[in-house]
Amino acid sequence: MPNVMVSPCGTSLLTNQVSNELRTLLLETANRQKADLTPDQQEKIAEHIQQRRNTLLDPSLHLETVKKMSAELNGIITYHNGDLSPSVPEYHFLLVSDTYQGEQVGEMVAAWLRNNGLIASIIKIPDLATSEAETFRNAMSELIKWCDDTLTSYQQQGYRVIFSLTGGFKGVNGFLQAIAMFYADESVYIFQASSQLLRIPKLPINIDKEGIVGKHLTLFRKLEVNFSVTRQEARGIPETLLFPVDENVTLSEWGELVWRQAKPTYYQQKLLPPLSSRLEYSNRFQSDVAAIGSERLEILNYRLDQLSRYLESNGDYNPLSLDFKKLKGKPHPQATHECDAWSDKDAKRLYGHFEATGTFVVDSLSSHL
């Protein structure tokens, strides 16, 4: 079975085996962009990065030395027992912070993996190494969205997902260990200073045991597509699942996790009612929907939620995945507008028209013209 391995990147590649003076400089500037460094700091750090890059990418460098240089590569090499020639394609995602040091470490680790025949991509998460708790929580929410969008897709294609948590920052790794129970088939890390690899399998967990999402499904749907939801409206949802923004709320990192795990259960059951009073479904459309499978129904319900948000925002909210626009010509007798239902496989569109009252009626689910 092919693997996808996710490795958070810290700064061990830069801070291992350096002088106390250089270590202090690297730690003090770890969360900064290059533009935020003084010319002297830029020069010293850039010189050190180049030295480390030259050493790491030397093809004659022994694997044991590579493991001592980089915690991230130590975890990956140990997982493979030193054999980096997989018989099937293996993808590596390196999670890095949007900082100067974070990006440089990610690029060096990716280059080493590519030089050894593996496929590596850098995923930059804003605020991943920030010292501010609020922005760090936002980064964790973005990380959950990435896991849900990317890793779930790989698993559906038959890939096995492994979280390699030997490198990276402690706060990030603690969070990844928690969400590994939902997005990884296994998480691994090197035990302390030994060479032993600890493996933690995925455990069966019911994250919405009390049915919170089902009880507040409309609110969760609205939060997903950026409706304004006040604190008063959201009463009844546990505070840990919400993040206050003035008088409104958004989903917290844990709220994102709960919602994304529970969402398919509700979106695959039936056609959900519109979130906006300005959206209606025709009998023809409801008949069209009755013929599609559960996975397509999940996509369609989300697209209709986006359409509700479009109507409530008077067109300001129109993501590329929706692409609501006026029809050219008259390919459908009654329809005047279209938007995407889904663009893969049979590529269906939603066709509809506006009533005199301003309500938009979805007339049909039909093939792309």
Domain residues of the chain, as ranges? Answer: 3-201, 208-267, 270-369
Decide: residue 209, CB within 10 A, 0-12 exposed, 13-18 middle, 19+ buried.
exposed
In this structure, CATH architecture of domain 270-369 = 2-Layer Sandwich (3.30)
Q: What is the spatial distance between Cα 237 and Cα 254, in angstroms, rounded to a whole number?
A: 12
C-alpha distance from residue 306 to each of 107, 188, 348 (Å): 36, 38, 16
pLDDT per residue, tens digit, the chain (369 aa), is 789 999 999 888 999 888 999 999 999 998 888 999 999 999 999 999 999 999 999 999 999 999 999 999 999 999 998 888 777 778 999 999 888 999 999 999 999 999 998 999 999 988 776 667 778 888 899 999 999 999 999 999 999 999 999 988 888 888 899 899 899 999 998 876 667 888 888 877 777 777 899 999 999 999 999 999 999 999 999 999 999 989 999 999 999 999 999 999 999 999 999 999 999 999 999 999 998 999 999 999 999 999 999 999 999 999 999 999 999 876 667 899 999 999 887 889 999 999 999 999 999 999 866
Is CATH 3.40.50.10770 the classification given to domain 3-201?
A: yes
Position 31 scores a pLDDT of 86
Position 217 scores a pLDDT of 96
Question: What is the radius of gyration, based on Cα positions, of the chain?
Answer: 24
Q: What is the spatial distance between Cα 43 and Cα 229, in angstroms, rounded to a whole number?
A: 48
Cβ(355)–Cβ(338) below 8 Å = no
CA 159 to the chain's CA centroid: 17
